Structure 1
Amino acid sequence: MSSLNQALSVALDRRQSLLAELHAQGTDCYRLFHGSQEGASGLTVDRYGPQLLVQSFHTRLERDALIDLQATVQARLERALLLVYNDRSGSNSRIDRQDSVYQAEDAALQDLVGHEGGLNYRVRGRHAGQDPLLFLDLRNARQWVRQHSAGKRVLNLFAYTCGVGLSAAAGGASEVCNLDFAEGNLAVGRENGALNPQLPPMQFIQSDYFPAIRQMAGLPVTARRAQKLPDYPRLQARQFDLVLLDPPAWAKSAFGTVDLLRDYQSLLKPALLSTAEDGVLICCNNLARVSMDDWREQVLRCASKAGRPVREWQVIQPAEDFPSMDHQPPLKTLVLQF
């Protein structure tokens, strides 16, 4: 047995009880192998419903190793899975068309459906973006939202494909508003909504974060230095009972810069002001180099300065399929209660 298959087998052993629990909950989307923590840095193996998504970020996985990996997973789960391998270790190397095992079967690249907590989510092995359409490490946060959203007005910021919004709708939210800059992301969010026709409809706003959230917070919309103010949707100032702030690590527009390392405060302050007085703000930071303790203190200090001191806070850890040997997972999630 190769060292990779040994590491994979150990990882699957560790997940035995978790997978049984997830399957009982109607979930078939989860991480099977978290290489950076389980013996193969830069390699991830995820299940998305009928699909097995393997991705390498440092070194391309050789053909035989990929075939062995698929066989090991299928034997353990006792089911066939459609293999998609994305090599992301170099520029333009995601898809190697020289060998059929890298190309993936046509069936594996179709629009598929995965499940989380009985909800249906769109799955595509390859699409216009790089990342999967559902971030698995945020599953526990989505579950928290579902359990605490009954009757709440929910704002999902940097909504991506609107998984949090879908969870809020399933939890009985009175209103769900998903905000994202990319229409392609929101289009998948609309697909997710259509895949769950039993849920009430969600709202979708395509906009740069800064003008949208600043209008909601009752703040003036400004442009970055020497930038002309582009067009943007006009929104009313208002507050929500539950707000989720899950920004990317870095992005720049004419309205401002998203920078989780140097300037989380610029993102946080208007989100705080858009949260109702007795509401909840869930904020995320996915930078591995930022420690939870330092970031939490920064967040609490910013809230106090903004006149919104936090009454209680709690941490949502990623589930066991995202192990962290130093107990400092890259994704950090704080629930702030006012």
Structure 2
Amino acid sequence: MSTLNQALRAALLNRQALLNELHSQGTDCYRLFHGSQEGAGGLTIDRYGPQLLVQSFHAQLPREALLELHAIVCAALDQPLLLVYNDRSQGNSRIDRSDPIYSAEAAALEDLIGHEWGLKYRVRGRHVGQDPLLFLDLRNARGWVKQHSQGKSVLNLFAYTCGVGLAAAAGGASAVCNLDFAESNLAVGQENAQLNPQLPAMEFLQADYFAAIRQLAGLPILPRRRQTLPSYPRLQPRQFDLVFLDPPAWAKSAFGTVDLLRDYQSLLKPALLTTAEGGVLICCNNLAKVALTDWREQVLRCAEKLGRPVRDCQVLSPAADFPSLDGQPPLKTLILQL
């Protein structure tokens, strides 16, 4: 038996109790192998409902090894999962959709449905973007939102495909606003809403983060030097009971720059002002090079200087399908009670 196959079998064994718990909760989307921490750096194996998504980030996986991994997982779960393999080790992996190693069956690339916390989510092994449509390491955070949204107004910033908004709606939120710059992301969010017609309607707002959040916080929008601002939706100042802030590592627009390493404060300050007194701000940082202790101190100091001191701060870690040998997972989530 190969070293890789041994590592996968060990990972599946370690997840036995977790998988039983997830299945009882109505969840069939989770990570089965986290290669960087389980013996094969640059390799991930994820289940999304009826689909098994294998991705390599450092080196292409040989066909025979890929098929062996697929067989091991299907046997362990007693499920004939549809295999999709994305090799993302090359520089053009975002646009290269060729399959030199393995060509997925047509059924594997169709629009499928996965489940989390009893909710339905759109699953696509291949789509216009690069990443899967549901980030699995954020599952615990979506679960927390679902449990604590009853009667609350919720603002989901950098909403992506609106998983947090969906969880809030399922938790009984009085209003949910999903904000994202990409129309394609919100379109998937609307699909997710349609897959769960029992939930109340949500708002989908396509806008630049800085343009929208500064208006909601009652702050002016200032143009960059010698630069004319593009048009943007006009919004009235508004506060929310629960605000979720999960920005990408880096992005730039005419309104500002998202930089989790050097300038998290510019994202955090208006989000704090948009959170109602006595409300909750959940903020995330997914940069591995940023230490939790340093970032937590920075966040608390920023809130204090802004006059919005934090009454309680809780750290929420990813579930056990995202193990971290040093106890410092890349995704860091803070729940701030204001």
**Shorter-chain TM-score range:** over 0.9
In structure 2, distance between residues paired with 1:301 and 1:225: 29
Q: Which residue of 1 aligns with 2:293?
A: 293
SS state at 2:97 partner: coil
SS state at 2:71 partner: helix
Letter in 1 for 2:260: L
Letter in 1 for 2:184: G
Query: Are 2:14 and 1:6 aligned?
Result: no
Q: Which residue of 2 aligns with 1:113?
A: 113
Answer whether contact 1:215 1:237 (CA < 8 A) is retained: yes
User: Relative to structure 2, which stretch is displaced further, 216-225 or 140-149?
Assistant: 216-225
RMSD: 0.8
Displacement after TM superposition at 1:92 (Å): 2.6
Provide, for residues 85-132 of structure 1, a one-character-per-residue CA deviation record: whole Å limited to 9, x for no partner: 000001234534335xx2201000000000001100000000000000
Counterparts of 1:21-40 in structure 2, within 5 Å, are: 21-40=21-40
Counterparts of 1:136-285 in structure 2, within 5 Å, are: 136-285=136-285
Displacement after TM superposition at 1:227 (Å): 2.1
Structure 1: stretches of 5+ with no match in the other structure: none
Residue 304 and residue 41 in structure 1: after superposition, are their counterparts in 2 closer, same or farther (change >3 A)? same
In structure 2, distance between residues paired with 1:22 and 1:250: 32
In structure 2, distance between residues paired with 1:156 and 1:59: 35
In structure 1, distance between residues paired with 2:258 and 2:222: 15
Query: Are 2:103 and 1:103 aligned?
Result: yes
In structure 2, distance between residues paired with 1:64 and 1:236: 58
Query: Are 2:41 and 1:41 aligned?
Result: yes
Q: Which runs of 4+ in 1 moved over 6 A?
A: none
How many residue pairs match? The answer is: 336
SS state at 2:313 partner: strand
In structure 2, distance between residues paired with 1:57 and 1:47: 17
In structure 1, distance between residues paired with 2:187 and 2:47: 23
SS state at 2:192 partner: helix
Displacement after TM superposition at 1:154 (Å): 0.1
Provide, for residues 33-89 of structure 1, a one-character-per-residue CA deviation record: whole Å limited to 9, x for no partner: 000000000000000000000000000000000000000000000010000000000
In structure 1, distance between residues paired with 2:294 and 2:99: 45
SS state at 1:169 partner: helix
Counterparts of 1:64-103 in structure 2, within 5 Å, are: 64-93=64-93, 95-99=97-101, 102-103=102-103
TM-score (norm 1): 0.98
SS state at 1:8 partner: helix
Displacement after TM superposition at 1:228 (Å): 1.4
Provide, for residues 3-32 of structure 1, a one-character-per-residue CA deviation record: whole Å limited to 9, x for no partner: 100000000000000000000000000000
Structure 2: stretches of 5+ with no match in the other structure: none
In structure 2, distance between residues paired with 1:191 and 1:106: 21
SS state at 2:228 partner: coil
SS state at 1:103 partner: coil
TM-score (norm 2): 0.98
Displacement after TM superposition at 1:309 (Å): 0.3
Letter in 2 for 1:280: V
In structure 2, distance between residues paired with 1:268 and 1:134: 24
Displacement after TM superposition at 1:222 (Å): 1.6
